[in-house]
Amino acid sequence: MKVDVLLGLQWGDEGKGKLVDFITPNYDIIARFQGGANAGHTLIFDGKKYVLHLIPSGIFRNNCINIIGAGVVIDPIALVEEIKTLQEIGVDVKSKLKISKRAHLILPTHRILDKVSELDKGDAKIGSTLKGIGPTYMDKTGRNGIRIGDINNDLNSKYQSLKDKHYLIMDRHQKTLQELDYYSTVKEEEERWFDSIEFLKSFDFIDSEYYINKALKERKTVLAEGAQGSLLDVDYGTYPFVTSSSTTVSGVCSGLGVPPHAIGNVTGIFKAYTTRVGSGPFPTELDNEIGEKMRKIGSEFGATTGRPRRCGWLDLPALKYACMINGVTELNIMKLDILSEFDTIKVCVGYNVDGEFYKDTIPFDVSVPIEPIYVELKGWNKDISNCKVFEELPKEAKDYIAFIQLETNCPITRVSVGPDRLQTIMR
């Protein structure tokens, strides 16, 4: 057996949570391979809305094991809060959740460092979620981090040592920290942190690399669930306005401990339009009434931060780039219903950068002035949220899908026409 992969192809918020939840009946194991509580995977079913940040989206399915992999960074406070919320509604989290011993822990001081770093950047700020993600990955690559497996191995000493290192860094930012009154909250956060650690000790910590590879040999089905989006990848995204982990398919190998030849089907998720949260280049952004209309109809506000998302037309050069670097084998289009109220729909098919035309590639630096080259397609002006099969979609909606499929040279196998798990059309 091979590990199937589901990941986002834009700047995150593509609808990965819904699709993972939709396809989990086909899998024995769902595994998160990177990111942290900066993710926000929204699931809607039975008239209720759920948002997951750390726990894989298969947690609501029976007979499905959910793994937080080694490539994930874990805030124990956030994880415990998430677990307790699920337990309150009757989800048996303990029997269905396993945590890699190699996953790194986020300390309260990581969150402080994240905040200070962002403030110091001023107008050049990245748009961080301020969850401590970046500083934790920095400690991980700097070989200073604390892992889940350290919880029962002289944790207090390791915690104090790393905290002391953080305080040395924080000494350079005394003015900012005093203004924010962060030092007064450290003790309180520490108490919650250690209480959360005690709570987590009753959960199953595993050598996830052995667990997953053994499962594959036993012909169990495994789905790797990505967080954020490919254009936020630390290597291949719109650097420096990126996250601190590998959000592309390569992150599956490093984050779960599986070899490249074990990667199977790669499902790429994208919205029928484009959104972005935080700072950074966005060639097709609509900072006007059309963009505002998209935001309103699509309820485009961050599931983790609540921040309004920037909205724009679909960017095909960026989408084709993401398909290439991930080896995407099938596409799933999300939120097609949001475009139902537009008479004309534009699609960016290329960039004009100082007289140089880009179609099948994107420039190294997408922060330079870019003029999007658009084609216009006819809208369908019809509610499609109740369509159950592809044939029920209006001709114009089918034409839109066909155009994208032709341009990307990749089949679109699922079409989302609403937020509920049942509002998904299979092709």
Cα dist from 424 to 5, 7, 33, 337, 388, whole Å: 19, 17, 25, 11, 7
Coil, strand, or helix at residue 378?
strand
Strands 356-358 and 263-271: what pairing? unpaired
Across the strands, what pairs with 400?
Answer: none
Cα dist from 24 to 15, 127, 262, 335, 339, whole Å: 15, 32, 19, 20, 28
Instruction: Output b/e per residue, 210-226; b: 16+ Cβ within 10 A.
Output: ebbbebbeeeebbbbbb
d(Cα 241, Cα 127) in Å, to the nearest integer? Answer: 8
d(Cα 422, Cα 36) in Å, to the nearest integer? Answer: 28
Contact in structure between 89 and 114 (CB atoms under 8 Å): no
Coil, strand, or helix at residue 399?
helix
Amino acid at 158: K
Peptide bond into 419 cis (omega under 30): no
Known catalytic residue at 233: no
* Axis-axis angle for helices 108-121, 133-141 (nearest 10): 110
Distance of CA 247 to the CA centre of its chain: 8
- From the candidates 4, 13, 233, 337, which is the catalytic residue? 13
- From the candidates 4, 21, 41, 110, which is the catalytic residue? 41
Q: ∠201-203-205 over CA atoms, to 5°?
A: 90
Kindly report the backbone phi and psi dihedral angles of residue 388, in degrees, each rounded to the nearest multiple of 5, phi listed first: -105, -30
Cα dist from 286 to 237, 290, 294, 308, whole Å: 21, 7, 9, 13
Residues 6+ apart with CB under 8 A from 62: none
Residue among 379, 381, 400 at smallest CA distance from 390: 400
Residues serving a catalytic function are: 13, 41
